[in-house]
Structure 1
Amino acid sequence: MSQPRGLGLADPERENAVLFAIIEAATSGPGVEPLAAAVARVITEATATDVCFVHVLDDTEPSLTLAGATPPFDAQVGVVRLPLGTGVTGWVASHREPVVIPADKQDDPRYVAIPELRGEAYTSMVSVPMESEPAGLVGVLNVHTVARREFDDRDVRVLRTIGRLVAGAVHQARMHRRLAAREEAHGRFAEQMVAAQEAERQRLARDIHDGISQRLVTLSFHLDAVRTFLDRAEAQAARTDLATACDLVLTTLDEARAAIGALRPPVLDDLGLAGALAALARGLPDARVVLDLDDRRLPEHVEVALYRIAQETLQNVLKHAGADEVDVRLAATDGGVQLTLADDGVGFDPQDGRAGVHGYGLASVRERAELVGGTVRVISRPGTGTSVTVTVPLDDQAIDEGSARNT
């Protein structure tokens, strides 16, 4: 009785169909594990083999991890690990050469039984390296059959072609994962940096309030008391000096309070972002203010950034726009929060490099938005007013946590 031969891909059209199916599976998504699972399934279905394992080279250690497998071994994905050089798979990874074992795996000195993968239940196997340019070695692809199967050079060539396709796709998936991780880390760093800056501002504001301001207030009381008790006729010069000292104390106290406000806006703690924005807008003289503000709380670093952006933008409206009406809108929507500040003033050309300095301080606004992962959109033309929209991506949980912060 003749033994089944090869992968059953003697027909070039069938071989091409399998390769196209592998390409389609390789473009199914950016995840390494879903990609490996799709490839394993396509290979076993197309070649009438019984099981396929996709072992991927680890990023930091000289070892391989099972990244994809056909059932019932898909439960072992991420669990089975092999050091380079261990077993047939480890040997293939180390030598970058294929191995074909038609029968009696136990007699091959390279073979090491892996209980979780039940190698003793399968007679024949082919193991090929997955490598390509510029990815290099990415992993090892194994197929197994229960019945003895005669795999020839053509079968190995096809599997190595499949391995090259998978290697390129795995490399792209890894690059995508690293980029996503880098972006996430950048976002966390920016958030932590803003939080650290605001914590330091808050500490300095508290020190000024609790130390310098309080001492100035106390000094002012003492000076007033001394001036009250001085004899007007005999100590006119002293009274003049005391009056000057009192005026200096009051001026210094005003400056300290202004410094506290610049370091950390107390209005955010007292009123929240919506109330703080309303207070900012109503501080514009000679302009009608239209408010549409979502009063849900946001993460602290986002509230501070949006408040500072509004503060700077409205200050520039006051200085440059000559506006009769100013709209301030804050909306927490699916996936983010959006702040829009619009006026009907003189407008400007956003493409004019001088606008960033003389118009709306766009460079600073964009910098603050980028620190919290946001974007800025400016719409303006001379004579038509200006709209500045800041969008910061957030999930619903972040908004809910922000609201809970002050409940």
Structure 2
Amino acid sequence: MAQVTTLWETVRGRWPRARIAALVAAINTVAFSALVAEQATEWSSRWETAALLWWVGGLTVVIGAVLIIITIPLCALVASWWIRIIITLLLSAVQSSVRTALLLPATTLERDTHGGLTIWVTGMSGYLLAIATGFLVAALFEREDRERALRRDEEARTREAVSELEREELRVRKIVADRLHGTVQHRLVVVAGGLDQVADRLMAGDDDPAQWAPTLRDWALDLDELREEHVRSLSHSLFPSGADLGTYEAIRALLDRLPPTVATTVDLGPTMKELIRTLRAPLPLQDRLVVIYTTEEAVTNAIKHGGADRVTVRVEALKRGTEWVLDVRIDDNGTGPESEDPPLSGLARHRARAESRGGSLRLERNDEGGGRLHLMLPFVPESPRNDDEILQKQEKFDE
């Protein structure tokens, strides 16, 4: 009994829906047995009708039950459906032969040369139909299980993407809050205090107001530096410059802020150029932000950790069936990663964000020995936008 239980647990582990297949096959076998038992009176005039019904029906049920008990576990232990079909055919043929040998003496068909073949074909057809129906129902349940599992995985990825966005939002909020309450607030307090002091001196009738001109000019320069270095960078943290225009414009704006000692290039593939020509900004804004922030992290790492002084960003759109995939490669001439599959630190959250949208992110070495960040991101091209809107945003961006 323990061995039977262990075998059944193994079967359930290999084929979770084996029980459903066995149950449906058993119900069909009983129905088949009732059908052939009712027709048994046409086969023989030797036996009492009741005895013939019980003998034919009961024998068909027993042989079918043995067939199911043997066939379903064996088929569950193999993964290939072709092997399952072969096993079912062979065992059904054997069981139909046993059934024919036991039923033939009780029928008048034994005088007919085709009598045994008729009984065998009837049994073979009935048993195959019963087990095949069980397999079909089990396969449908398995497909439903797979679809449900896919939905659960998709929901889990969606929840993870939402959580990642929430964590990213909190991270950006913290950065903005720290810099506003730290550097920006401190320097504004200093300037405001100085201006109050100058105002008090001037109101008190200072003999030489011109002496404050250099100080006021220094404070003006300080405010301009504060705007350029801190306010602009904070604005970029909240929403990258040029992101509302397109991916190329945003990446170009990102690279233009690098020191002049770093040579930068943005190459667009022919398919991407055609999409931009026809659709202006084909990449949806959400996907655009993923590309921009990932590129920014890759460029920062290349310069800071790899010592690179040349960065090239290549962007191409690939058509795979009905799906579009953005192919972004950020190459540098720095030291590159030390291993083929290096661990990701700051890039980990960018990879999670790409994977949550069905994409991928890999850090590897390029042909020159430097670093390469390879981003693949599925997207649905957006419809063209109004030309007036494009021109207005382009003018604002150029300013």
Output the TM-score relative to the length of structure 1: 0.49
Query: Which one scores higher on RCO, CA 8 angstroms, separation ≥ 6?
Result: 2
Select the structure that is richer in helix: 2
Task: Name the larger-Rg structure.
Answer: 2
